[in-house]
Amino acid sequence: MQVHHLNCGSMHPVGAPAVVCHVLLVETNNGLVLIDTGYGLRDIAQPTRLGPTRHYFRPALATDEAAACQIERLGFAREDVRHIVVTHFDVDHIGGISDFPEAHIHTTAAELLGAVRNPSLREKVRFRPAQWAHGPKFVEHTPDGEKWRGFAAAKELTDIAAGIVLVALPGHTRGHACIGVDAGHRWLLHCGDAFYHPGTIDGQTPVPRAVRTLEPILALDRKRVRDNHARLAELYRRGEPDLLMLCSHDASLFAHAKSTA
Q: Which stretch binds Zn ion (CB under 5 A): 10-18, 170-178, 191-199, 232-240?
A: 191-199
Rounded to whole angstroms, the maximal C-alpha distance in the chain is 44
157 vs 168: CA distance, rounded Å: 13
Find the binder of Zn ion among 193, 211, 228, 253 (CB under 5 A): 193
* Smallest distance from Zn ion to CB 41, Å: 19
What is the SS3 assignment for 67-134? HHHHHHHCCCCHHHEEEEECCCCCHHHHHHHHHCCCCEEEEEHHHHHHHHHCCCHHHHHHCCHHHHCC
Q: Give the end-to-end CA distance of the chain in Å, rounded to a whole number.
A: 11
Give 55 or 147: the residue with its C-beta nearer to Zn ion: 55
Question: Which stretch of DSSP H or E encloses residue 198?
Answer: helix 198-202
- Classify the phi-psi angles of 29: left when phi > 0, otherwise alpha if psi is within -120 to 50, otherwise beta: alpha
Give 10 or 248: the residue with its C-beta nearer to Zn ion: 248
Is residue 215 close enough to count as binding Zn ion by CB under 5 A? no
- In the three-class reduction of DSSP (H, G, I as helix; E, B as strand; rest coil), residue 12 is classed as coil
Q: Which stretch binds Zn ion (CB under 5 A): 50-58, 64-72, 90-98, 153-161?
A: 90-98
* Smallest distance from Zn ion to CB 146, Å: 26
**Amino acid (one-letter) located at 36:** D
Total interface residues for Zn ion by CB under 5 A: 4
Q: Which stretch binds Zn ion (CB under 5 A): 11-19, 65-73, 174-182, 244-252?
A: 244-252
Q: Which stretch binds Zn ion (CB under 5 A): 42-50, 161-169, 175-183, 187-195?
A: 187-195
Give 17 or 31: the residue with its C-beta nearer to Zn ion: 17
- Classify the phi-psi angles of 69: left when phi > 0, otherwise alpha if psi is within -120 to 50, otherwise beta: alpha
Give 86 or 244: the residue with its C-beta nearer to Zn ion: 86
Is residue 92 close enough to count as binding Zn ion by CB under 5 A? yes
Give 228 or 248: the residue with its C-beta nearer to Zn ion: 248
User: What one-character DSSP code corresponds to residue 64?
Assistant: G
Q: Which stretch binds Zn ion (CB under 5 A): 42-50, 58-66, 85-93, 182-190?
A: 85-93
Phi and psi angles of residue 161, each rounded to the nearest 5 degrees, phi first: -170, 150
* Smallest distance from Zn ion to CB 20, Å: 10
* Smallest distance from Zn ion to CB 39, Å: 11
Give 86 or 161: the residue with its C-beta nearer to Zn ion: 86
Q: For the chain, state the CA radius of gyration.
A: 17
Is residue 43 close enough to count as binding Zn ion by CB under 5 A? no
The contact set with Zn ion (CB under 5 A) reads 90, 92, 193, 248
